[in-house]
Chains A and B, each alone.
Chain A
């Protein structure tokens, strides 16, 4: 179903129905102007203010075939992550380190813009970013995955699948992967020197992964919309109406409708203590050409403050 943000008419009359249709056509044909009309009033098409975040829902452990699993919903975006553990031989130069292989898949089911086939560019970029976030923070020290140094180690495949894509897949996927790793349990395993085989005891209790609890991270994404073309503007940091044209607006947690209209996307990764682990900013969208260098850096500062505030809430949810 296409996005119909107009929820004000529960009993459709002929006039209301034709108004709704005209609004939908306007949204399709002139998305920039449609978004600008909302932003000058200080709201977004789904009713949020520019700095408001969507509700987050996390559910863990529902998939019995996986060693650990999590389902995360941020608004409409739904991501399911499962962890499968397999046994492998370690690399020659790191004989006591296991493997952590995160991947995300954006199949055709989640959005009309993804076609079936090999991973799209968006999926590849997301996989790489998630890999960098998880490996660089040392959330799971790979030496804890060792069964027998030089012979046998655990290899954890962390696979995320998107079921419904409504923007901000990075935040949801990172949350899902961290929650799934938290939920993962491994069986007791021993390596037999003579036969060279690794066998697991099925009746013994499964042990959870020894994650670095102080290195748990969450991601927070923002989008920058270029200057609205309508005269009335809203200064987001002070929350007051100004009578002259204001600059670009920072939107927290962009939806699938807003994403193609953004000039810049900023993602902040924050850990449990509120320290900023990484900041990624990129120019994107067709409006990227009008982007101003100086304004870009002030948006990074604004997003850092907003991110640290929101990160506390997300870390609470992860517990």
Chain B
């Protein structure tokens, strides 16, 4: 149900409009049992392109099958607040395009945008040398163009943000790679899509810096046993090493092709 309150800053449609209902209902558990084209421990192929937004200091575009997002970094620039801060600030903002999800999202920012932004902030903040930028702010803006699973979104967002920061030339301790996993019973699947997440018992998202073998963020939601969560984290960390190689390769080839 999309109820549009009258927004004087936009062109408005009818007061109430509903997404179309289809005659064959989706079975809840079918998402997990449906055949998967890749193995349980394979993630979707990543296409990562730095330097997409020419107006920004650094940017990256990431595409993994049906999840597409663009990220731009502006900074370090002057902080708007007048209070002195020894360490720089990192500001992450996420915006979902209205056509990015199966149900149309209102253009106003809501709680889900904020939650995704906080998760990405947590993933990348420990990798940046913020003490080198007093009184400054680094702004990371992410626009989600197509969304196939929030966990995949957060993981791809962290990868894109870290690549964009590297593209901007901001000093970091290491590149941050991220991977998500879904659990149903004893079965673990890496990089679940939206249908699999809806059918799963719980999910785990892990962000780490493979170059330093350190973990920056673990986010577990739903019902996952303790051993299951540890196993997820191990699998994600192994996969993050491959993701790191993809990120490094894309940054090197984008630099090589520059004049």
Contact = CB atoms under 8 A, between A and B. Distances in A.
A109 B10 contact: no
Main secondary structure on chain B at its contact with chain A? Answer: loop
B12 A199 contact: no
Contacts of B172: none
Interface residues of B, number: 48
Main secondary structure on chain A at its contact with chain B? Answer: mixed
Interface in B212-229: none
Interface string B72-91: 10100000000000000000
Contacts of A131: 11
A88 B22 contact: no
B23 A76 contact: no
B187 interface: no
Interface string A118-162: 110001100110010000000000000000000000010101010
B251 to A, nearest CB: 15
A187 B23 CA distance: 11
Interface stretch (B49-57, B121-129, B231-239): B49-57
Interface centre among B10, B51, B68 (most CB of A within 10 A): B10
Size bracket, chain A contacts: 35 or more
A64 B146 contact: yes
Given A65-B100, A112-B56, A164-B55, A189 B11 contact: no
B147 interface: yes
B161 to A, nearest CB: 12
A66 B99 contact: yes
B55 A103 contact: no
Interface in B1-50: 2, 9-14, 16-24
A163 to B, nearest CB: 5
B57 A65 contact: no
Given A65-B99, A103-B10, A202-B23, A163 B143 contact: yes
A179 to B, nearest CB: 14
A198 B141 contact: no
A20 B74 CA distance: 22
A203 B143 contact: no
A163 B53 contact: yes
A105 B16 contact: no
Nearest to A105: B107
Contacts of B95: 107, 109
